[in-house]
A and B are shown apart, each in its own frame.
Chain A
């Protein structure tokens, strides 16, 4: 079974802090994605990556950056957290040219 893990289930940070969300997958998948999920707005893509050291902006990249130094790990960085970044953050991975994505358990981030 595909396993995608995220570093924290719940996280509380203060405005202005730098926040790191880590995602690790164990299935040697090429593709990795970061989403945020908010009521009434659904899943929105922040960044994605199809290869190590490669990244592409999704639909809402502002205020975020990512890092993919190893194939299995994809990190989301909030450079200076703001209250409007309070959300559920979901990481997903997928294999090569496949469209299926497999999700981690999510990190519920609260910025106060």
Chain B
């Protein structure tokens, strides 16, 4: 059965720290991996990764995919209180009608 596991489940850091969130997967016919940020409302799209080893970057956030070891990391540098959110990872099984397989998320709290 396809599955996506995120770690840690929760994390508390101070402003200015750098954090690394992990997403590992077991999916037949892997196509892509997506990261979302969810504050107290709807998830918002961050990145989609399809190729191994190519970093995607947006401001202080970056992400990379390792298709050999079957995981992705999301890095946030110089964290701010506005980064406090649940970060969700989802994977596409290309043979699965474009449905996303979701992890349970990592809850990040950034304290001032």
Q: Chain A: residues with CB nearer than 8 A to chain B? A: 4, 31, 40-45, 48, 50, 56, 58, 90, 94, 97, 99-106
Contact = CB atoms under 8 A, between A and B. Distances in A.
A90 B42 contact: yes
A99 B41 contact: no
At the interface, is chain B mostly helix, strand, loop or mixed? strand
A43 B42 contact: no
Best-surrounded residue of B41, B44, B97 (most CB of chain A within 10 A): B41
Contacts of A45: 99-100
B98 A103 contact: no
B9 to A, nearest CB: 10
Interface in B33-64: 34, 41-45, 48
A31 B48 contact: no
25 contacts: A40-B104, A41-B104, A42-B88, A42-B103, A42-B105, A43-B43, A43-B102, A45-B100, A48-B99, A50-B98, A58-B99, A90-B42, A97-B98, A99-B31, A99-B32, A99-B92, A99-B98, A99-B100, A100-B48, A101-B45, A103-B42, A103-B43, A105-B41, A105-B42, A106-B41
Contacts of B43: 43, 90, 103
A58 B102 CA distance: 13
A7 B44 CA distance: 19
A44 B102 CA distance: 8
Best-surrounded residue of B88, B90, B100, B105 (most CB of chain A within 10 A): B100
B44 A99 contact: no
Interface residues on B, range: 20 to 34
A94 B103 CA distance: 19
A31 B92 CA distance: 15
Contacts of A48: 99
B104 A42 contact: yes
A40 B99 CA distance: 20
A99 B48 contact: yes
Given A43-B88, A97-B98, A102-B45, 8 more contacts: A4-B42, A31-B98, A42-B105, A45-B99, A50-B98, A101-B45, A105-B41, A105-B42
